[in-house]
Amino acid sequence: MHRHDPSIARLADHALDYALERVRMDPVPLDAPKSYEELHAAVGETITPDGIGGDKALQLFVDVLAPACISVDHPRFFAFIPGAPTEASVIFDMVVSASSIYTGSWLEASGAVYAENQALRWLADLAGFPESAGGVFVSGGTSGNLSGLIAARHRWRTRTEGRHDRTRGAILASRSAHSSVVQAARAMDADVFDVPVDERGRLLGSALRSTIDALSQDDRDRVFAVVATGGTTNVGVIDDLRGVADVCEREGIWFHVDGAYGLAALCAPSVRELFVGIERADSFIVDPHKWLFGPFDCCALVYRNVHDGRRAHTQHAEYLDVLHGGESESGPWLEMNPADMAHHLSRRARGLPVWFSLATHGTRAYTDAMEMTLDVTRQAVDEVRRRPDLELVLESDLTVIVFRRLGWSSEQYAAWSDHELATGHSFVVPTTWRGETVLRLCIVNPRTTIDDVRAVFDALEQPT
Ligand SMILES: *Cc1c(COP(=O)(O)O)cnc(C)c1O
């Protein structure tokens, strides 16, 4: 375990060679899951008193473990919400790993925090946030939503001067909101009041208005946040952010926008208009590991007023005192501690791969890549309309396509999906829309071409 052990140096070469080879594979193999029995037969016990040796462990990873993990960046990975990190971001993720940076505090990681903050500022500017904005990169949208909502509740309780310190709070959100919103409420022991959606699954300002009006005064007083979605996970529609902002402003309620998937498209002029209203949010999240070409795991959480985040999340202890004192009570906080912005303390510099890739390619390349995925999606939608066996279920705002294969049962969808994955052809899974099993494609990879999509549609026309 010595630093200059020659066998470790050789191992490092092998591991780095493999890593570079993986980054440059084009296309990567799709791969597929294996059962516990299959993996156990091929791998067995690897943690032993003497170790099995790095060469053996690496070989097991390359030959058995990695092929049992689906490549999210495969151009025909259309399930869930995939990701497609740039080569620059992946390489820099390795640099971050090599650098042993504790990125919780300005004291320990000023250089890294400075660079991460430039990437956050780019996002804040895209949203039209003021100078007071700031935030942090957390592990994912689930954690970002929880931290944003904790800050919302903190502000509500502070503003009501202790009257609600023991009141169970409530969040207003629609059924189209991501599962992590309900999960955050559960973690916070808060309620979620349902706001009905329109026919495309969107939360509108008018429905929010009537939902609030129908609440009892006690329930109304418990509401500390409204969550709107900037690109729903299931069907890719954008809530009425402007209408929701109007209501939140009038009612003095924190407005959180969950844009884990969709807010990446703030940099895409062809759809930017759909996000009008985001500039009035109190907080938003967007996952660079989804549609902003960064590696796992990475979510940008941005507060309109950085101090809202700080007041809710700063941890206090004798051994942390040295980190505090520099923060002003208002105005931009330039030498911030990322630990103070979310429900965490120690953290990886997970924003640096995003920063490095942005710095390398420039923001215009991001706009171009984003527009490419939007363009392939539009072509794919036209293709669905042209094919007699397929039928579009609803019009998406972004890059999710939800459609039917006419005449198929849910068993047929499932069997077809399994077959596609098992043969390494594509990864597409069914979803449900208003109780009906349908198919869903999500396109976030600029390497996905219309021919990749056509290959999936062709496969749907084969008899099963
Ligand atoms: C994916 C997603 C999340 C959860 O993000 P994770 O990074 O998977 O935790 C939250 N909200 C929306 C809208 C999403 O699409």
Question: What residues are paired with 400 via a beta bridge?
Answer: 442
Residue pLDDT, tens place only, 383-438:
999 999 999 999 999 999 999 999 999 999 999 999 999 999 999 999 999 999 99
Q: For strand 191-194 and strand 170-173, is the pairing parallel, antiparallel, or unpaired?
A: parallel
Query: Within this chain, do residues 281 and 248 fall inside the same structural domain, yes or no?
Result: yes
Identity of residue 37: E
Range of 353's domain?
Answer: 95-361
- Which string of DSSP letters, residue by residue, matches 141-199? HHHHHHHHHHHHHHHHHHHTTTTTTTSPPEEEE-TTS-HHHHHHHHHHT-EEEE----T
Portion of the chain with pLDDT greater than 90, in percent: 94
Alpha carbons 78 and 384: distance in angstroms, whole number? 15
CATH number for the domain spanning 388: value is: 3.90.1150.170
Tell me if 85 CB under 6 Å of ligand 1: no
Q: Whose CA is nearest to atom 4 of ligand 1?
A: 141
The pLDDT score that the predictor gives to residue 421 is 98
Q: Which residue has the tokens 């969950």?
A: 258
Tell me how far the alpha carbon of residue 356 lies from the centroid of ligand 1, in angstroms.
Answer: 23
Give the mean pLDDT of the chain. 96
Tell me if 284 CB under 6 Å of ligand 1: no
- For residue 177 the two structure tokens come to 């909101």
Q: Is 259 exposed, middle or buried (0-12, 13-18, 19+ CB in 10 A)?
A: buried
Cis before 27? omega within 30: yes
Is residue 97 pLDDT above 70, yes or no?
yes
Tell which atom from ligand 1 comes closest to the C-alpha of 144: 9
Q: What SS3 state is found at 125? A: helix
The pLDDT score that the predictor gives to residue 206 is 98
Alpha helical stretches, state H, 347-449: 352-361, 363-386, 410-422
Q: Work out the pLDDT band at 464, boundaries 50, 70, 90.
A: low
| Residue 27 within a domain | no
Average pLDDT over residues 97-107: 97
Query: Within this chain, do residues 376 and 284 fall inside the same structural domain, yes or no?
Result: no
Last residue of a domain, which of 329, 361, 393? 361
Q: Is the dihedral of CA 310, 315, 316, 319 positive or negative?
A: negative
The pLDDT score that the predictor gives to residue 334 is 86
| Residue 187 within a domain | yes
Alpha carbons 297 and 83: distance in angstroms, whole number? 11
Last residue of a domain, which of 308, 334, 361? 361
Q: What SS3 state is found at 25? A: coil
Query: Within this chain, do residues 354 and 373 fall inside the same structural domain, yes or no?
Result: no
Question: Is 0.95 surpassed by the pTM of this model?
Answer: yes
Residue pair 338/347 in contact (Cβ under 8 Å)? The answer is yes
Q: Give 139's DSSP letter.
A: S
Tell me how far the alpha carbon of residue 421 lies from the centroid of ligand 1, in angstroms.
Answer: 23
Query: Considering its fold, how many domains does the chain have in total?
Result: 2
Cis before 219? omega within 30: no
Q: Is 297 exposed, middle or buried (0-12, 13-18, 19+ CB in 10 A)?
A: middle
Query: Within this chain, do residues 322 and 225 fall inside the same structural domain, yes or no?
Result: yes
Tell me if 287 CB under 6 Å of ligand 1: yes
Query: Within this chain, do residues 213 and 131 fall inside the same structural domain, yes or no?
Result: yes
Tell me if 174 CB under 6 Å of ligand 1: no
Tell me how far the alpha carbon of residue 47 lies from the centroid of ligand 1, in angstroms.
Answer: 34
CATH number for the domain spanning 301: value is: 3.40.640.10
Last residue of a domain, which of 312, 338, 361? 361
- For residue 107 the two structure tokens come to 């004291």
The pLDDT score that the predictor gives to residue 332 is 72
The pLDDT score that the predictor gives to residue 326 is 63
Tell me how far the alpha carbon of residue 15 lies from the centroid of ligand 1, in angstroms.
Answer: 31
Q: Work out the pLDDT band at 84, boundaries 50, 70, 90.
A: very high
**Which strand ranges, in their side-by-side order, compose the sheet holding 430-433?**
390-394, 400-405, 436-442, 430-433
Residue pLDDT, tens place only, 135-169:
999 999 999 999 999 999 999 999 999 999 999 99
The pLDDT score that the predictor gives to residue 322 is 86
